[in-house]
A and B are shown apart, each in its own frame.
Chain A
Amino acid sequence: MIERETPVTDDELHVYVDGELPADRRPAVEAWLANHPEDAARVAGWRALAEAIRARYSSTIHEPVPDRLTLNRIMRRQRSWGTIAAAAALAAFVFGGVAGWVVRGVAAVAPNDIAQFTAEALDAHKLYISEVRHPIEVKAEEDHLLPWLSRRVGTTLRAPDLGSFDLKLLGGRLLPGVNGPAALFMYEGSNGERFTIYCSRLNEARTAFRYDASAGFGAVRWIEGSYGWVVSGPKDKERLKAVAIAAYDQVEGRTPAPSRGSADQLISRRGS
């Protein structure tokens, strides 16, 4: 019996429980457990723990997979957004300055940081568009709107001219964001619909346009030069996408603001 009592290490006990012990070592470990009730109790406890974890979570595997997690759905969405990104890249090229539009960020982007960022922008959108009397803090007509928000957010901001979408800039406000102060610009159409553009620091790799929707509202976001932008509005993907592309082109300095009247909205290109 003595020779079978080769000391069994803790590591070996874990390996044994997890089924990775080489077969030729099993008898030795089993003999050890027969003679060491404390170790046997620990091993039994680990097994019970594994059983409990499996009992708690295994049922998930039999649940039907929700639609949004099917591969077909995900591939379809990617294809449509790939097309938009390609169109935007082309537009950026045509309007001068290719300046590295990154369509796919394979790099270490953290989608959940970005999701949180978008969620905050959408929350702000929902909260303030329903304000009848105080949708904004500082009106578009006031000269200090852009210098003030630019200083607080830490980059030279411009509020895009969305006149071609029948959207007029009402003004803006300062908000607390995930990574620091955030600027929120609000636009209103002649029919009363409201769009917002949210901008704050976001230290993530550049991304293509991404669309998210939540409870009647939609948002298109992009990240460029350590700043994230979210354009939110009614849940109309095509329109939001068009507004976002127009906003992007102006904000990133690819095209001049379309109308003369908007020259005062333009401070200068960010970073210059």
Chain B
Amino acid sequence: MGTFHQDIEATIPALRRYARALTRDAETADDLVQDTLVRALRSEHLFHGGDARSWLYTILTNLNRNRLRSLARRPSLSSIDDNDAPDMAGPEAGGRDIERALALLAEEQRTALLLVVLEGLTYREVAEIQGVPIGTVMSRLARARVQIKAYLDGERPALRRIK
């Protein structure tokens, strides 16, 4: 196996983590990772050096965007989050809040936030993955943080937390 393949192999656990947070569903996440790997190997000849890791993040990010677009054509599937069970108390409650807060974000904001905060990529790397200037990445991060704070502070009355 060449270094290229070794680099890919080494990135799989992180890709699964990123996909899990993006999709908030283990099965969907692994499907996404599988599609990413298939695509990466198929277009291996298009990879001209550089960082295999950010290349894989780019593929996964694009595939996820396509996935969301096709889901958007099926409106019946998109409201499941809102009808979920009410917030629980206890250790799981925090995690569920995070999941819901992430679910509320626009796709490009969620992507930027997760790449920086969870995957530890630099603003420059995220800008390349998203194909936008660094300034845009920064404003996506800022908006994501404002929105999540508003959500956790209970701006959405239906889902207000009791503190």
Which stretch from B31-39, B81-89, B155-163 is at the chain A interface? Answer: B31-39
Q: Chain A residues near B16 (CB, 8 Å)?
A: 60-61, 63, 65, 69
Query: Closest approach, in angstroms, between the C-beta of A141 and any C-beta of chain B?
Result: 36
Most B-side CB within 10 Å, residue of A11, A18, A116: A18
The answer, yes or no, to whether A225 is at the interface (CB within 8 Å) is no
The answer, yes or no, to whether B103 is at the interface (CB within 8 Å) is no
User: Interface SS of chain B: helix, strand, loop or mixed?
Assistant: helix
Query: Closest approach, in angstroms, between the C-beta of A122 and any C-beta of chain B?
Result: 15
Contact A65 B13, beta carbon cutoff 8 Å: yes
Q: Known: A18-B123, A54-B118, A112-B63. Is A71-B9 also a contact (CB below 8 A)?
A: yes
The answer, yes or no, to whether A152 is at the interface (CB within 8 Å) is no
Of residues 37 through 76 on chain A, the ones whose CB sits less than 8 Å from some CB of chain B are 42, 45-46, 49-50, 52-58, 60-63, 65-66, 68-71, 74-75
Contact of B37 among A52, A69, A115, A178 (CB under 8 A): A69
Contact A106 B46, beta carbon cutoff 8 Å: yes
Contact of A78 among B38, B70, B99 (CB under 8 A): B38
Q: Chain A residues near B123 (CB, 8 Å)?
A: 15, 18, 20
A90 vs B113: C-alpha distance when bound (angstroms)? 48
Q: Which B residues contact A (CB, under 8 angstroms)? A: 1, 5, 8-9, 12-14, 16-17, 20-21, 30-35, 37-39, 41-43, 46, 63, 66-67, 69-70, 73-74, 94-95, 97-99, 102, 113-114, 116-118, 122-123, 138, 141-142, 145, 148-149
Known: A49-B117, A60-B17. 12 other contacts (CB 8 A): A14-B145, A20-B123, A53-B114, A54-B118, A56-B99, A57-B20, A68-B34, A70-B12, A110-B69, A110-B70, A112-B31, A178-B74
A selection of 28 A-B contacts at a CB cut-off of 8 Å is A10-B142, A11-B142, A49-B145, A52-B98, A53-B98, A54-B118, A55-B94, A55-B95, A61-B13, A61-B17, A63-B13, A65-B13, A65-B16, A68-B34, A69-B12, A69-B33, A69-B34, A74-B37, A110-B66, A110-B69, A111-B35, A111-B38, A111-B63, A112-B67, A112-B70, A113-B66, A115-B35, A116-B70
